[in-house]
Structure 1
Amino acid sequence: MCGIAGWVAFDRDLTTERPALDAMTETMLCRGPDASGVWLSRHAGLGHRRLSIIDLAGGRQPMTVDTPTGPVAMTYSGEAYNFVELRAELRRRGHEFRTDSDTEVVLRGYLEWGEAVAEHLNGMYAFAIWDGRADKLVLVRDRMGIKPLYHYPTADGVLFGSEPKAILANPLVEPVVDADGLRELFSFSKTPGQAVYAGMREVLPGTVVTVDRNGLREHTYWRLEAVEHRDDVPTTVGRVRELLDDIVRRQLVADVPRCVLLSGGLDSSAITALAARQLDEQGERVRSFAVDFVGQAENFRPDDLRGTPDAPYVRDVAQHVGSEHRDIVLDHTALADPEIRRQTVAARDFPIGFGDMDYSLLLLFRSIREHSTVALSGESADEVFGGYKWFHDPKVQQADMFPWVATALTSPHLPTSLLDPGLSATLDLGGYLRDRYAEAVAEVPALDGEDEHERRMRRICYLHLTRFVRMLLDRKDRMSMAVGLEVRVPFCDHRLVEYVFNTPWSMKTFDGREKSLLRAATQDVLPRSVVERVKSPYPSTQDPQYLVAVQRQVGDLVAADHPALELFDRDAVRDLARRAPEEVAPGQRNGMERLLDVATWLDIRRPVLKLS
């Protein structure tokens, strides 16, 4: 896993722009702490920061191949889990290899298949290739959008990077955020391609972007399609297990220490158990890590999202599979530390608003990085298999809105209720969300013969796989790469996603519960307590001392008249900062966390806000 950056300019000589490319590349230091490289030609410059995972000695980048008609150079981030098979195929086609890295496999795959190399890859990746034979740049992003990639068209070319900060480091770019950028920040929905900063775009998942003297073009090489599912329930369960066994086997390949993230839920427990079984065959013991909070057992109170604490289930799984387990226990002081908030917001580039769940994830990953470089995660199983409670709520099923937003709208204390009333009117978040929802629904593939309920559930599944999951993948990527930890997501393997997406909803819930297929496919390797456990999301601290610290920091912002308050309702903020903790609702706490994040973002990035 790595960080990439680059600059293509057809009307200037970039060999004189080394300082700018160095600056862009060095913003990716956390993503690639092990090595750095820059490659320059007259009209293209590529930068790379490396986190060494495969072929530690031979995978240095940018990697180049000289051809009779010009060089082909690549800067690559990610993992191609089928690189061994691809290398064998390319050797049969006459290619010779200098390294054992998957990077060289992808580069030589491009020499063989051109832009269609993306269709041959299984993995998570974002890479850029400068093809000197045709003077064109090729940007490629994986199918699910696991690895990030941004671009910024200029007057004579394009800038690109793994994160916005790489592009913002170039002197051609001003950090402008317009009304649509703010709408994206506060709407809790990730619009495909939207990058918050004006003029900047994300490379869409499953997309190839090419840039040459004629301009910029996009080509979609993968999207979710509707296909008739012909397997019965036992066959489907068997196929899910077969896929998971193969996926976990592939994603355990690394030349550095590996581990799994364990929450005690069905998703992470399944990955942990399958990894334990496969590593045991190799004579290894799986490592597992879980996050917990000081006093969580005493402070825990069931709510609509979390009915049970994680710790007892984590212990059950660790004992059941015999993992080498560690709990990372965090206290309220660490979670509320302004420096941790600053590091979190800096890593994300935007104040997205997950509050203490962002801060704890950063601290968890930092602790894990002391022991392992690669971690497997249960992320995305809920989106693939239909795990969230709102999937099963008839009112949400019928709502003409993103399901997670429709659920939030039932709360009397939305985090956005703290926004300045004038700003709220200007942004019209409700109208923005309705427009984005209509665009998303128009994309949903249809299958002849589906009844209305199956069609609506296909729509809900599609929305989660193309919108909601990308918010979580983005969060996971930024928090892990901020500490140089590579987190892999087996449930995002496109073969599994395609297969389960086309499984009828009645089959996804054949036992009357959420994630029926996943439960049935893995119950033989799990303790009964986890098989029977109801879905519980990533944990959030319930320590009242954390809330007190947040209120105190918000009070300090009010006293200092921080510029962030221009975006918020000052009276409402002041009132919340003074309330007794027991009088603050969860949504209001998250609203205060959002304010603190926004203030930190303004201090770090100093964006120019243009609302007209």
Structure 2
Amino acid sequence: MCGLAGYAGFAGCAPSGTEEVSLKEMTETQACRGPDASAAWTGDAAGLGHTRLATVDLVGGRQPLVLTRGGRTALAVVFTGEVYNHAELRAELTARGRRFRTRCDSEVVLQAVDAWGEQAPARLEGMFAYAAWEPAHRRLTLVRDRFGIKPLCYARTSDGVVFGSEPKAVLAHPAVPARLELDGLRELLLSAHPMIKTPGRSAFAGLREVEPGTVTTLTPDGVRTRRYWSLTPAEHRDDLPSTVERVRTLLSRAVTGQLRADVPVSVLLSGGLDSSAIAALARPEVEVLHTLSVDLGAGASGQDAMGRDLDGPYADLMVRHLDTAHRTVAPATQDLADPSHRCRVGRLRDGLTMGDFDTSLMMLFRAVREHFPVTLSGEGADELFGGYRWFTPSAAAAESFPWDTVLDRADLTRLLDPTLAAALDLPAHRAELHAAAAAEIEHLPGTAPGEAALRRDSYLNLTRFLPCLLDRTDRLSMGSGLEVRVPFLDHRLVEYVFNTPWEFKTFDGREKSLLRAAVADLLPPPVLARRKSPYPMVRDPAYRAALTGQVGRLLATGSPAAELLDVRAVRGLLLEPSGAKRFPREGLELVLDLDQWLRTHRPALHL
């Protein structure tokens, strides 16, 4: 796993302003993404920077990679991620006469791009992003994996393009100033509350994200985007027993493939169905299975602050069941509320945070990275198999994002300046986003209305909700130089389950019936029967008290966020009791996050 940065000029020289910033400075903004090595390549009109987290071919996999012909550069590539079928592709390319110097998957990508061009991404299995520069054509190609697990963004300049894994790398170039407009503020707010990610958009004006499953080609003639993969309908021909068996085979194959590395690998284990399934499938493949979990404390009822069963007892049961080497990370309340940790999370995410959810996850990833550069996660299973509370016919039929109908979130826009809130008009904006997303979905002829509605629910979760979680996981894990792999997002498994009839996914009247059946012989009954329990949150009242004090000090000393806020409403928030529903603690976190984001990026405001 790595960090990418670079620029390309379309007038035969590097973009204007490049001489004012070194490629090294752009690359170093993402040093945490690649703690093992850093390097750069420059040509007459382009520069590629790379920071490396070594997981395969620790010695030979250095980048950028350059292919020459006739003593001249034909192709230069920087790549991040993992291509799990690189050995198979290497054999195919070798048979075509290609020669390799390393065992690394990045060299396979270089040769694949040279051999197959824009058709190469469809041949790659895994999570990845790459940039390929062809000097002879003055062509820069930016590619992102099918689900956008690995980030990549870019900005056009007057005479070229600047790109990076994260916005901070792009904004380090003087030709790309940080600007916040209404659409950017909408994206900033909605991607955190209530978690709606718009493909391609970012919070910064003029800065675009490469969309998942697409090839973006930039030349002197402009920008062209081609989708090489999408969720499309297909007839499901298997009966229920065959479907269960096929899910087991595909998931097992994904786990086995993603355990491969030249460094130690661990598994995140919460004791829920998803992570337990990953751990159980991984156990026979390794001599010792190392697992980790997070514990934020219990109340007298043995539940967390949202009334959910705690993970600890179930994680302990799985540890005994699989005989794993386990570690539990238990952050203290004062650490979760520590402003320096919030600052760190905000800088890693380049956006608003999810409060203690993010801080505790960052601490978990730090603990994992102390011993393991790679870990496996159960991310994506709920979106794929229907594990959330909003996977119901009524929620799916609603003309809104289905999680909006279930999640009890306060309207945090009440904390914004009333004039600004009216200009944002987030309800109308959300309705537009929903209509656009729903219009993308295809259905087979004759699909029953109820089945179509639930298929739409799954599509929206996979393409609008899940990207928020994937971005969170990527930023917070790479902040510690940790690679998180996600077997449930193997695209062959996703394609198969997405097109499975909904009655199969709930055949026994429970959520995620299909997944439970596929791993029924691997898990102890209490874990197999456990209902969905979301990522834990801290219950200690001292957490909200600490946030209240921090917001109070901001109001007293001044904040750049004051221009965006209704200060009177914020002062009222400080007086609310801890159990208030009008403005839960997310309101306090919003104020602190906006302050942090504005101080970090110092954008010009055009609102």
Letter in 2 for 1:574: R
The equivalent residue for 1:596 is 592
Q: Is the 8 A contact 1:20 1:171 kept in 2?
A: no
Q: Is the 8 A contact 1:297 1:309 kept in 2?
A: no
Paired with 1:79 and 1:134, the residues of 2 have a C-alpha distance of 28
Q: Is the 8 A contact 1:576 1:584 kept in 2?
A: no
The equivalent residue for 1:9 is 9
Paired with 1:544 and 1:586, the residues of 2 have a C-alpha distance of 17
Asked if 1:251 is matched to 2:247, the reply is no
Of the candidates 438, 445, 461, which is equivalent to residue 448 of structure 1? Answer: 445
> TM-score, normalising length from structure 1?
0.95
Paired with 1:358 and 1:302, the residues of 2 have a C-alpha distance of 17
The equivalent residue for 1:585 is 581
The structural deviation recorded for 1:505 is 0.8
Asked if 1:424 is matched to 2:408, the reply is no
Paired with 2:84 and 2:583, the residues of 1 have a C-alpha distance of 40
Letter in 2 for 1:401: S
The structural deviation recorded for 1:602 is 1.1
Asked if 1:397 is matched to 2:404, the reply is no
Q: Percent identity?
A: 51
The equivalent residue for 1:265 is 272
Q: Is the 8 A contact 1:149 1:163 kept in 2?
A: yes
Q: How has the CA–CA distance of structure 1 residues 306 and 464 changed in structure 2, closer, same or farther, with 3 Å as cutoff?
A: farther
Paired with 2:396 and 2:538, the residues of 1 have a C-alpha distance of 30
Q: Note the 1:202-281 alignment, pairs <5 A.
A: 202-279=209-286
Q: What SS does the aligned partner of 1:513 have? A: coil
Q: Is the 8 A contact 1:34 1:50 kept in 2?
A: yes
The structural deviation recorded for 1:65 is 1.2
> TM-score, normalising length from structure 2?
0.96
Provide structure 2 residue ranges, at least 5 long, that are not aligned to the other structure.
none
Q: What SS does the aligned partner of 1:64 have? A: strand
1:330-372 deviation per Cα after TM superposition (whole angstroms, max 9, x unaligned): 1111101111001100000111x41110111111101111010
Q: What SS does the aligned partner of 1:46 have? A: strand
Paired with 2:573 and 2:206, the residues of 1 have a C-alpha distance of 36
The equivalent residue for 2:84 is 81
Q: Is the 8 A contact 2:64 2:78 kept in 1?
A: yes
Letter in 2 for 1:346: R
Q: How has the CA–CA distance of structure 1 residues 398 and 302 changed in structure 2, closer, same or farther, with 3 Å as cutoff?
A: farther
RMSD, aligned CA? 1.6
Letter in 1 for 2:280: A
Q: What SS does the aligned partner of 2:32 have? A: coil
Letter in 1 for 2:481: G
1:367-387 deviation per Cα after TM superposition (whole angstroms, max 9, x unaligned): 111010000000110001110
The equivalent residue for 2:57 is 55
Residue correspondences, number: 600
The equivalent residue for 1:480 is 477
Asked if 1:491 is matched to 2:488, the reply is yes
Q: Note the 1:25-44 alignment, pairs <5 A.
A: 25-44=27-46
The equivalent residue for 2:186 is 183
Paired with 1:145 and 1:586, the residues of 2 have a C-alpha distance of 35
The structural deviation recorded for 1:285 is 0.8
Q: Note the 1:546-585 alignment, pairs <5 A.
A: 546-581=543-578, 583-585=579-581
Letter in 2 for 1:285: V
Q: How has the CA–CA distance of structure 1 residues 579 and 300 changed in structure 2, closer, same or farther, with 3 Å as cutoff?
A: farther
1:286-319 deviation per Cα after TM superposition (whole angstroms, max 9, x unaligned): 10000012x425475467x652111110101111
Paired with 1:264 and 1:461, the residues of 2 have a C-alpha distance of 24
Asked if 1:106 is matched to 2:109, the reply is yes
The structural deviation recorded for 1:424 is 1.3
Moved more, 191-200 or 559-568: 559-568
Paired with 1:18 and 1:99, the residues of 2 have a C-alpha distance of 35
Q: Note the 1:258-407 alignment, pairs <5 A.
A: 258-279=265-286, 284-293=287-296, 295-298=297-300, 301=303, 307-351=308-352, 353-392=353-392, 394-407=393-406
Paired with 2:455 and 2:582, the residues of 1 have a C-alpha distance of 31
Paired with 1:82 and 1:17, the residues of 2 have a C-alpha distance of 40
Letter in 2 for 1:363: M
Paired with 2:367 and 2:417, the residues of 1 have a C-alpha distance of 38
Paired with 1:333 and 1:584, the residues of 2 have a C-alpha distance of 22
Letter in 1 for 2:401: F
Q: Note the 1:159-170 alignment, pairs <5 A.
A: 159-170=162-173
Q: What SS does the aligned partner of 1:525 have? A: coil
1:5-33 deviation per Cα after TM superposition (whole angstroms, max 9, x unaligned): 11011236339738431211111100011
Paired with 1:488 and 1:26, the residues of 2 have a C-alpha distance of 24
The equivalent residue for 2:207 is 200
Paired with 1:12 and 1:575, the residues of 2 have a C-alpha distance of 58
The equivalent residue for 1:610 is 606
Q: Note the 1:97-136 alignment, pairs <5 A.
A: 97-136=100-139
Asked if 1:435 is matched to 2:418, the reply is no
Of the candidates 147, 158, 162, which is equivalent to residue 155 of structure 1? Answer: 158
Q: Is the 8 A contact 2:362 2:476 kept in 1?
A: yes
